[in-house]
Amino acid sequence: MAMKSATPIDALTHGVIQAGLCTGCGACIALDESPHSLMQDTHLGPIPAWMADSRLPLWSTQACPGLGVNYPDLYQKHYGHYPNQWLLGEIQSVWTGHASDPAIRRIGASGGVLTQVLVYLLETGKVDAVILAQQGRPTPEKARAVIAQTPEAILAGAQSIYIPVSMLDLLKTLEPQKTYAITCLPEQSAALRVMQQEGFAPAMQVQYVVGLYTGTALYPAAISCFLRSRGIREDDSIQSLKWRAGEWPGYLEIKTESGRIVRSKKVYYNFLIPFYITQTSLQSMDFVNEFADLSVGDAWSPVFEAQGVGHSIIVARTQPMASIIAEMEREGWLSLEEEDPLKASDMHGHMLDFKKRGGYLRNQWRRKMGRPAPDYGYRPAGIPLSRVLVEIVISSLFVVGRTAWARWVVARIPESIIGPVFNTLRLGWKKLSRPTKRKGLGDFHVDIST
């Protein structure tokens, strides 16, 4: 008797959700025929909750970042060709800069560029509304995708959110006649592009994808660990939370019911990363949001860091988006400097390597151990042995850090100690591993799986 082939829901349930690989993007919920299925909060971030009448189209598995979106294939379909270089993806123009309006620059995570672009798209009628992420919905420590129809609502969504937020399930609720822009992390942009290629109607209403460079995100439990390390009692509930409050690069700021306000510099609360880094952050091979029309990250450079005000790195991947950014500069919305793409990539060499080569190695190792891992359809050419050895050190740190006992210990070390100690170790390790991690990155090539 022939075996009944697995449905997409079976494939996603076993190969992604139970394997701990769900990125929480929400694409499958948007595609589900059931009007009742939804993304539900878990300790691993949002994951799909199917209903008895759930049914997905067969192609939905190709849009799932947990299984892996085939990047070479998507490049051919979306851009019509492979990227002009594989390290940074397809590029029309690169700038560093910030929103010209100081208030928007200040509330943004880096230079307020994304917020300013979204306001511009709305105010010039290029879109009817914007889908963005907002911290504090439905409760202060959580975050949700929301639809903003006014500049004020866009400003309310400024800042980065470092816990997983499902963005694409909201596609299910779009008004059919309207056009939208959306903010996406890299896996969400890629999933959305597959949905557009397959002609999924709500995805076709999205005119602009504005993307964030994405290094590491944290599981929600990182917040309680941080509070514990600052001596906050469990019953002292959170009243507000900002991940990048104040001047760039900003600090985590949490206000509690008892009136306590705790702040931690971004470089200090990074100590949470080895203990609470999401699985998606480890498996992803896309740092620079290769399928967004516009990708924006922090412009880390000694010159900008010395100024202490936000600067972004801004990459336009399509001609229409490059024209919009140039228009915004001409009209005084953005202050920009054009940059050489490869020189600009030096600001993020470590994270580019962490994703492109580290992500590939980590996925390979999982597969060798018989565990599912996302397949991006290509592999970096010629990874040196020294880089493999460095990855063994990095991955071991994450394996140990994410155990229950390591998390128990770290929550009991005051943040005033672990923050600076971790930062010193991080900078030391960066310096030590820099030659290995940068070796061959300037000449990055890939082999495409067939």
Q: Does position 89 bind ligand FAD by CB under 6 A?
A: no
Single residue of 217, 238, 352, 383 touching ligand FAD by CB under 6 A: 217
Q: Does position 131 bind ligand FAD by CB under 6 A?
A: no
Q: Which is nearer to ligand FAD, 92 or 160 (CB)?
A: 160
With CA atoms as reference, report the closest residue to 264 among 235, 231, 236: 231
Binding to ligand FAD in span 312-351, by CB under 6 A: 312, 348, 351
What is the 3-state secondary structure of the chain?
CCCCCCCHHHHHHHHHHCCCCCCCCCHHHHHCCCCCCEEEEECCEEEEECCCCCCCCHHHHHHCCCCCCCHHHHHHHHCCCCCCCCCCCCCCEEEEEEECCHHHHHHCCCCCHHHHHHHHHHHCCCCCEEEEEEECCCCCCCEEEEEECCHHHHHHCCCCCCCCCCCHHHHHHCCCCCCEEEEECHHHHHHHHHHHHCCCHHHHCEEEEEEECCCCCECCHHHHHHHHHCCCCCCCCEEEEEEEECCCCCEEEEEECCCCEEEEEHHHHHHHHHHHECHHHHHCCCCCCCCCCEEEEECCCHHHHHHCCCCEEEEECCHHHHHHHHHHHHCCCEEEEECCHHHHHHHHHHHHHHHHHHHHHHHHHHHHCCCCCCCCCEEECCCCHHHHHHHHHHHHHHHHHCCHHHHHHHHCCCHHHHHHHHHHHHHHHHHHHHHHHHCCCCCCCEEECC
Min dist CB 20 to ligand FAD, Å, is 18
Q: Does position 114 bind ligand FAD by CB under 6 A?
A: yes
- Using the rule CB under 6 A, give the single segment among 50-58, 195-203, 212-220, 409-417 that binds ligand FAD: 212-220
Binding to ligand FAD in span 162-191, by CB under 6 A: 162, 165, 167, 183-185
Binding to ligand FAD in span 386-415, by CB under 6 A: none
Q: Does position 232 bind ligand FAD by CB under 6 A?
A: no
Q: Does position 285 bind ligand FAD by CB under 6 A?
A: no
Q: Which is nearer to ligand FAD, 112 or 140 (CB)?
A: 112
- Using the rule CB under 6 A, give the single segment among 46-54, 56-64, 191-199, 292-300 that binds ligand FAD: 292-300
With CA atoms as reference, report the closest residue to 316 among 81, 149, 97: 97
| Token pair 């929400």: residue | 26
Q: Does position 26 bind ligand FAD by CB under 6 A?
A: no
Q: Which is nearer to ligand FAD, 184 or 252 (CB)?
A: 184
Q: Which is nearer to ligand FAD, 59 or 398 (CB)?
A: 398
Min dist CB 14 to ligand FAD, Å, is 27
Q: Does position 119 bind ligand FAD by CB under 6 A?
A: no
Min dist CB 76 to ligand FAD, Å, is 26
Single residue of 61, 96, 100, 110 touching ligand FAD by CB under 6 A: 110
Q: Does position 108 bind ligand FAD by CB under 6 A?
A: yes
Q: Which is nearer to ligand FAD, 180 or 213 (CB)?
A: 213
Min dist CB 371 to ligand FAD, Å, is 24
Binding to ligand FAD in span 133-162, by CB under 6 A: 133, 157-162
Single residue of 19, 296, 325, 411 touching ligand FAD by CB under 6 A: 296
Single residue of 112, 186, 220, 358 touching ligand FAD by CB under 6 A: 112
Chain contacts with ligand FAD (rule: CB under 6 A)? 108-115, 118, 132-133, 157-162, 165, 167, 183-185, 212-215, 217, 296-298, 312, 348, 351
